[in-house]
Amino acid sequence: MSSNYIGKNFRFTTWGESHGPAIGCVLDGVPSSIKLSEKDIQPYLDKRRPGQSKFTTQRKEKDKVEILSGVFEGVTTGHPISLIIKNEDHRSKDYSEIKNVFRPGHADYTYWKKYGIRDYRGGGRSSARETAMRVAAGAIARKVIEKKIKKKFNIYGALVQIGKSKINYNNWNEKFIDKNNFFSPDKQIIKTWEGLIQSARKSGSSLGAIIEIRCNGIPAGLGEPIYDKLDSDIAKAIMSINAVKGVEIGNGFNCVNETGISNVDEMRIKSGKPYFLSNNNGGILGGISSGQEIICRFVVKPTSSILSSKKTIDIKMKEKIISTKGRHDPCVGIRAVPVGEAMIATTIADHCLRYF
Amino acid sequence: MSSNYIGKNFRFTTWGESHGPAIGCVLDGVPSSIKLSEKDIQPYLDKRRPGQSKFTTQRKEKDKVEILSGVFEGVTTGHPISLIIKNEDHRSKDYSEIKNVFRPGHADYTYWKKYGIRDYRGGGRSSARETAMRVAAGAIARKVIEKKIKKKFNIYGALVQIGKSKINYNNWNEKFIDKNNFFSPDKQIIKTWEGLIQSARKSGSSLGAIIEIRCNGIPAGLGEPIYDKLDSDIAKAIMSINAVKGVEIGNGFNCVNETGISNVDEMRIKSGKPYFLSNNNGGILGGISSGQEIICRFVVKPTSSILSSKKTIDIKMKEKIISTKGRHDPCVGIRAVPVGEAMIATTIADHCLRYF
Amino acid sequence: MSSNYIGKNFRFTTWGESHGPAIGCVLDGVPSSIKLSEKDIQPYLDKRRPGQSKFTTQRKEKDKVEILSGVFEGVTTGHPISLIIKNEDHRSKDYSEIKNVFRPGHADYTYWKKYGIRDYRGGGRSSARETAMRVAAGAIARKVIEKKIKKKFNIYGALVQIGKSKINYNNWNEKFIDKNNFFSPDKQIIKTWEGLIQSARKSGSSLGAIIEIRCNGIPAGLGEPIYDKLDSDIAKAIMSINAVKGVEIGNGFNCVNETGISNVDEMRIKSGKPYFLSNNNGGILGGISSGQEIICRFVVKPTSSILSSKKTIDIKMKEKIISTKGRHDPCVGIRAVPVGEAMIATTIADHCLRYF
Amino acid sequence: MSSNYIGKNFRFTTWGESHGPAIGCVLDGVPSSIKLSEKDIQPYLDKRRPGQSKFTTQRKEKDKVEILSGVFEGVTTGHPISLIIKNEDHRSKDYSEIKNVFRPGHADYTYWKKYGIRDYRGGGRSSARETAMRVAAGAIARKVIEKKIKKKFNIYGALVQIGKSKINYNNWNEKFIDKNNFFSPDKQIIKTWEGLIQSARKSGSSLGAIIEIRCNGIPAGLGEPIYDKLDSDIAKAIMSINAVKGVEIGNGFNCVNETGISNVDEMRIKSGKPYFLSNNNGGILGGISSGQEIICRFVVKPTSSILSSKKTIDIKMKEKIISTKGRHDPCVGIRAVPVGEAMIATTIADHCLRYF
């Protein structure tokens, strides 16, 4: 069953395994006449790339993207854009021990149940490495949105919680986000988070995180009732990211603590134009963007790749004890920030291509 | 842009407005040779139907479903099943006041921005009435799942929170759920909830709710990496329900409070068969069902149809004050229980038809 | 597997069996703000309706269409349009004899092999009655094309061959087509065709036919390389009509008798605008409309419902002799003219919604 | 708009331009546990490859395919299979003259109208080079069919007509097809065809061709009414091949010369099993395979790339005269044989994955 693509009008299909020769992606539906080169994509990949700080995995890859089709003389042609990143740093030996053993909390057992076979090297297809192509697609999605809405917009993410430590929203400073290793908008929490990560690393454990994505400048009218609502498609796109276990829009789960009176976003007119007195609905009403800031949050579970020993089984139905060797990322949620941004960007691009 | 369907293999398309002559749904992909009659569908519709208790809206409709095609001599033929429910209780006059005014928190403004026209009678297409057809589709989905997995299974929902009042999970009693007007699994909370609803009604306000859906007996292997993960599709299906603002699987957002050590679901063998020592992942690993109980929660915002006055604008960009007249549901989340069940059932049926 | 819909952006799903309570169709993707009522659809249905002349089947149905949703105050809302036609003239008794016997040349055997069950009354789902909904969808497609291309266009079909008797293209008179029972553009062939039909009826046999559809005023640019070419989608749409066994564009199969020199459509400029010196390619180049007249022909086989005895088998694998009783259409190709028009119109509407 | 893929369950997406760095394809939906290596694909590519005989274009490419994903230890994993062929023989200089001029009969004008930009080198995306990836997909489709139907089958094509010269069907010799440069099943026609091709080459013209594809061993039950009929999907797949202008099943257009009596395929029983007394319907009844041989024919127009001068225009709306320089293929229909086989194979594989 075909399932490695997402989107209807802005559609991309990813392929590749963590330890195969390459990973890649085909974007089908990008309009013609958009200026595009690898330079538009690479910065986003660099942001996601492992090995950048001591707070993420030490696997070092250049993640250098190449455009193989769909661009002619620096401009998109309207034909499929094929992207490829060659895999460089395999270290297959790291994974030989887990060949027949299911890493608990991972897709090993379910892949094996479903397919009867699995590429056990680095998680194979289920590796977070696949998300590099999402980030690349997201970079192109931004170009598509720009072309369609014809005005400034901004889609950006930030880490708002690691473990139990939440940022102070009053300290929100968008410009600070790209100036720290955590994509934190709150300068004052950095020290605390550094401590948490160090401590998780030492104890061979890991931490979960909550990411918030904000989109400014997105016009009203995006999203299709009834089943392709903008928030439905965002929910699907975000939940498809590895290790994500929840997604919410605007006030999200917290709206249960409000009443109909406090939660409604009232409207007024200023200089002949409508505006809202609040944004509890996170920029989406009835599945359609309202022109307000779109706000989405999602949670990334503490990675199951931990150094501590865990009980598990193998393909012969024998009980085993396993612990992850080698590279180890104490908080995968940090690297999920650019991935979340990308999935929101591709979803919005998809709806732009439906609407405009 | 076509968007009124959901599912790839078990696909249904709904149609109809709150105050049109009828609403309906076409199910395309139901296998042949399944016994089916209106009696299999009606009980689920009755469960969702308004006007049943004093805690939900007083709109009285019989919601009597008719099968118009795809069933021959009591058995499905493999051809599309067309369902129809005639609308009986229109009361169009109730809605004339809001013809040119946008009800805040509703889809009125965004529909108008998108389409330039809207059927203002009872919300038109955006009315929760559309969810009746989801419930009907869900009833048929259960028959499909039964045929495919060939063993007992159970998909059921419960209300676990109204406003700030959460059930005590230790009191969980599945059998009690259908014996109270709230679909509560906790007998001891009923009095509190009755008070909350009465009080919201009196103050012309409304309350949000959290619903939990559980699925037992679903085999391992359902769900398609990378983008049609079982949880991605569940997230999309659930988020497409009116007023839903968040969805989570297993521990969901709460997993951020755990560590990699505490959150991993370890595995052991019993009588030659694998089992899990916990279910933090809610029955889904890497987007594929693990054979454990599938657990999904979602939040329904306090309805925006409230009796209290709210600031808004009209289509001429004039400021207005509005309050909902007529029927009024202080907690739409209650009726979302059977809808949530249905969306999970249709999603699982869809994946059964891909897998088996 | 879901397969009762066609189109990506202008999508319609049909449902219903020949002898069920009704047939219907849901159109998903029709833009808002198009004036639409049953009066826009009915004339096309009347054109297809059986029982109109002695040259087609005598089954009498009013085929009265009702719009159940998606239209508000005479205008489309952008939401799904549900159409229904109630079945009136069942005569189920006519079909009891073929309950367990496969009519040769029909879908009886293959449906039974595929589904293990079949609604044997009047062909059930495989009845040409399903095409009534295509014609209804085609009527709405024309309104969509009109809205999108914003100028006059014309999609019309004609019968160009019955049995071995082909029209003289020099006699082509578009205005004559709707003034005869055959949809013939050639007045001089009518007598011959009347004789052929009478003779086929008398001998209990039937005749094939070739239909030509022409589309004027369709702009350049419709159609998507590589796999959703305009001609690919036309081929699929046309081949999906019951009894069609071949489809061709422009010169079609006859281009094998040309050379590269004679078959190329050369281009010149007149008043600053490009035009073509010929139209061998039938208005489509590289899968995209060129702005020329789009020309498509298809063949409808002699119906297999004949009065003469034929060898066949039954579901118990016993040999049988069968002949069709009751109503009998000696040339189903005649009624295929409006159906062919409709399928071309819906395909063009689909591509208009992708392009504009 | 996304359109570079085909198939629902066996889906492949192609990418790449004639003179870009590479062409490629991603297959999504191939089941796990099928033995697969480049050796299974290369022979089909070699069959299609130009430069093999003096009767096709002299462009020399190795067309060496590489598998980049989806295969682990020689076996498919159920994940997307990415194929790539590097372009080697560009000769971009050959095409500089046509940079601003539309080659008549080609997609140049329509691409320019649609996209406003085109990669003019060798036809860019509209080049027949894209069909190499279809042939590669077809090779994998055969492996999928084999796995699903679990018995011997044969899908093969032959050239049955060049220009006005048709084979004698009585001379049909399947084994001879791969032993001549024309894929002719009729040994006695070779001399005639050689003469035709030489003469077309000398006169700077080209010839059309008719190809017939036959499929043996395909079980009954493949194909989905109403719109995804096996023949509808075949028609779409075949019509999507460059330069194809018509497609027919079984007797095809010739059925208009038959009557209901002569055209019906009667059925009998032999050793308890049903068989047909004829195969006028080409193995498909009501859109579903009957278990008989599936027969499909299609016509390829005489290529528009001819050495003779033709009238055309340029992007500045100036009249021009053009003739193709460089490599020139007097009958592209010959190379369409393996492409036609591949498109039928992928369509059947798609329906196998829906049915089994």
What is the pLDDT, as a whole number, of residue A96?
73
| Distance from the B70 Cα atom to the nearest Cα atom in chain A, whole angstroms | 23
Indicate the domain borders of chain C. 5-355
The pair of three-digit structure tokens given for residue A35, joined into one six-digit string: 């200026």
Burial (CB count <10 Å: 0-12, 13-18, 19+), residue A93: exposed
Show the beta-strand stretches assigned E in C182-293.
209-216, 244-249, 267-270, 273-276, 284-285, 288-289
Q: Which residue has the higher pLDDT, D268 or D328?
A: D268
By DSSP bridging, strand B294-300 and strand B310-313 are unpaired
Contacts of B225 in chain D (CB under 8 A): 79
Half-sphere exposure of B156 (CA within 13 A, CB side): 15
Residue B39 CB contacts under 8 Å (≥ 6 apart), including other chains: none
Q: Which pLDDT band, with edges at 50, 70 and 90, does A306 fall under? A: confident
Which of A87-96, B63-72, B264-273, C263-272 has the least mean pLDDT?
A87-96
C160-213 pLDDT tens trace: 999 999 999 999 999 999 999 999 999 999 999 999 999 999 999 999 999 999
List residues of chain B with CB under 8 Å from any CB of chain D: 8, 79, 225
Of A23, A32, A116, the CB nearest to D33: A116
Determine the pLDDT at residue C318: 96
- Determine the residue among B26, B34, B92, B148 to mutate to test chain C binding: the one whose Cβ has the most chain C Cβ atoms within 10 Å: B26
Q: Does A307 have pLDDT greater than 90?
A: no
**Mean pLDDT, residues A251-257 taken together:** 97
| A5-355 maps to CATH 1.10.10.10 | no
* CA–CA dist B344, B244 (Å, integer): 14
pLDDT above 60 (res D90):
no
Model confidence at A98, pLDDT cuts 50, 70, 90, reads confident
Residue A306 or residue D196, greater confidence: D196
For residue A270, pLDDT over 90 is answered with: yes
In this predicted model, what pLDDT tens digit does every residue of D106-135 receive, in sequence order? 999 999 999 999 898 888 999 999 999 999
CA separation, residue D43 to residues B318, D15, D136 (Å): 72, 21, 9
Using 50, 70 and 90 to split pLDDT, how confident is the model at D328? confident
Nearest-CA distance from B185 to chain D in Å?
A: 41
Percent of chain A at pLDDT > 90 equals 86
Q: What is the mean pLDDT of each run of 10 residues along chain C (356 residues)?
A: 92 96 97 98 88 61 91 97 88 72 94 93 92 98 98 97 98 96 97 96 94 98 97 98 98 97 96 97 98 98 90 96 81 96 98 95
State the chains in contact with D (3 or more Cβ–Cβ pairs under 8 Å): A, B, C
Q: Is the pLDDT of residue A265 over 60?
A: yes
Residue B79: its chain D contacts at CB < 8 A?
Answer: 225
Name residues whose C-beta falls within 8 Å of residue C27's C-beta, 6 or more positions apart in sequence: C10, C11, C12, C70, C80, C81, C82, C83, C137, C140
**Minimum distance, in Å, between the CA of residue A73 and any CA atom of chain B:** 32
Q: Give the ipTM.
A: 0.96
The model's confidence at residue A118, banded by pLDDT at 50, 70 and 90, is confident
For B266-320, what is each residue's pLDDT tens digit?
A: 999 999 999 999 999 999 999 999 999 999 999 999 998 888 899 999 999 999 9
pLDDT tens, A128-149?
999 999 999 999 999 999 999 9
Instruction: Tell me whether residues C248 and D252 touch, CB distance under 8 A.
Output: no
Touching subunits for chain C (3+ Cβ pairs under 8 A):
A, B, D
Question: So what's the pLDDT on residue B305?
Answer: 83
Distance from CA of A274 to the nearest CA of B (A): 7
**Chain C residue nearest residue A79, CA to CA:** C225
Using one digit for the tens of pLDDT, what is the confidence trace for B191-214? 999 999 999 999 999 999 999 999
Q: Which residues of A touch C79 (CB under 8 A)?
A: 225
Separation in Å, CA of A298 to nearest CA in chain C: 31
| Contact criterion met (CB < 8 Å) for B79 and C2 | no
The pLDDT tens digits for D287-300 are 999 999 999 999 99
**Tens of pLDDT along C218-228?**
999 999 999 99
Q: Which residue has the tokens 């004899």?
A: C97
For residue C181 the two structure tokens come to 């029972």
Q: What is the pLDDT of residues A159-195, one digit of tens each?
A: 999 999 999 999 999 999 999 999 999 999 999 999 9
- Counting as contact any 3 or more CB pairs under 8 A, the partners of A are B, C, D
Q: pLDDT digits over D219-273, tens only?
A: 999 999 999 999 999 999 999 999 999 999 999 999 999 999 999 999 999 999 9
Choose the closest CB to D207 out of C113, C114, C259: C259
Chain D, nearest residue to C300 by Cα: D256
Enumerate the residues of chain D whose CB falls inside 8 A of the CB of residue A17. 69-70, 72, 77, 79
Secondary structure E strands in A163-258? 165-166, 209-216, 244-249
pLDDT over 70, % of chain A: 94
D280, with CB counted inside 10 A (0-12, 13-18, 19+), is buried
Average pLDDT over residues B111-127: 92
Mean pLDDT of chain D, nearest integer: 93
Determine the longest span between alpha carbons in chain D, in angstroms: 71
Tell me what the mean pLDDT of segment A28-43 comes to: 97
Better-scored residue on pLDDT, A59 or B122:
B122
- State yes or no: pLDDT of B100 exceeds 80: yes
Report the topology of domain B90-355: Chorismate synthase, AroC fold (3.60.150)
Residue B53 banded pLDDT, cuts 50, 70, 90: low
